[in-house]
């Protein structure tokens, strides 16, 4: 579904992503993992058309995304939920959700899709007329995901969905991502909680300073890579630190 080859992204003189190649097949849940500043969010932003690559190719369902606007890419079925969630605090919950359907071709089955989102996130139904800015962090994340689902995405990209959430809400977020995957949604995930991430993904790519340093199934990465060391600036860490999630 998604193929990236030789991607490079610059911010002025700074190279944020270097010669990155990766792929996501239809129905997969794939993660980008690595320390802060590794280039994970920049990669997602390049896919979504938010930042422009300097070199490399990005293809989605056989179509090049290079040079397309973020709106055009969203219209192809790519939905990005950014780290800051991107909700509109002055609008109601319902109005935010309706924005998710803005680029849909026609409004067929919109009522059914709204009902599906409200079943998945009952709190959104309860607070449909409430201002989105009054929601808690976990509720805002549910709103961001619900809005993305209303666009009927072919590829759902989640950037740090558990960031800043309570432990209970973190558990619910990982359950939700796993549910969406099992329902057939193709997902590209950026997430700092590496232990929980490797419990649910099909494959993962480890980025270090903008470069791809390892990739494979969770089992392969646990066996072959010092993931904890990668998160801790290269300091060695015992394998037990990975299994217990003590990654810094």
Indicate the helix (H) or strand (E) that contains 106.
none
pLDDT at residue number 106: 62
Per-residue confidence in pLDDT tens, the chain, 248 aa: 999 999 999 999 999 999 999 999 999 999 999 988 899 999 999 999 999 999 999 999 999 999 999 999 999 999 999 999 999 999 999 999 999 988 776 667 888 999 999 999 999 999 999 999 999 999 999 999 999 999 999 999 999 999 989 999 999 999 999 999 999 999 999 998 888 999 999 999 999 999 999 999 999 998 888 776 766 554 333 233 333 333 33
Sequence-distant (6+) residues with CB within 8 A of 129 are 92, 93, 94
Q: What is the pLDDT of residue 224?
A: 84
First-to-last C-alpha distance (Å) of the chain: 33
Is domain 2-77+153-243 classified as CATH 3.90.1150.10?
no
Distance, CA of 248 to CA of 139 (rounded, Å): 26
| Location of each CATH 3.40.50.300 domain in the chain | 2-77+153-243
pLDDT of residue 192: 85
């Amino acid at each position: 579904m998604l193929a990236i080859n030789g991607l490079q992204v610059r911010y002025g003189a700074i190279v944020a992503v270097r010669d990155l190649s990766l792929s996501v097949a239809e129905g997969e849940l794939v993660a980008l993992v690595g320390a802060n500043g590794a280039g994970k969010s920049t990669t997602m932003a390049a896919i979504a058309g938010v930042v422009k690559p300097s070199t490399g190719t990005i293809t989605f369902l056989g179509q090049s995304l290079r040079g397309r606007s973020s709106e055009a890419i969203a219209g192809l079925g790519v939905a990005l939920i950014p780290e800051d969630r991107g909700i509109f605090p002055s609008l109601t919950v319902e109005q935010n959700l309706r924005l998710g359907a803005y680029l849909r071709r026609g409004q067929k089955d919109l009522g059914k899709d709204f009902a599906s989102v409200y079943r998945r996130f009952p709190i959104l139904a309860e607070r449909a007329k409430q201002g989105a800015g009054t929601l808690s962090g976990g509720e805002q994340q549910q709103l961001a995901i619900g809005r993305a689902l209303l666009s009927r995405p072919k590829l759902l990209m989640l950037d740090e969905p558990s960031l800043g959430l309570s432990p209970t809400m973190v558990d619910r977020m990982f359950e939700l991502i796993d549910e969406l995957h099992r329902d057939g949604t193709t997902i590209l995930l950026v997430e700092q909680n590496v232990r929980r991430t490797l419990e649910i993904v099909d494959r993962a790519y480890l980025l270090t300073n903008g470069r791809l340093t390892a990739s494979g199934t969770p089992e392969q990465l646990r066996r072959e890579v010092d993931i904890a060391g990668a998160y801790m600036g290269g300091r060695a860490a015992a394998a037990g630190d990975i299994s217990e999630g003590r990654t810094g």
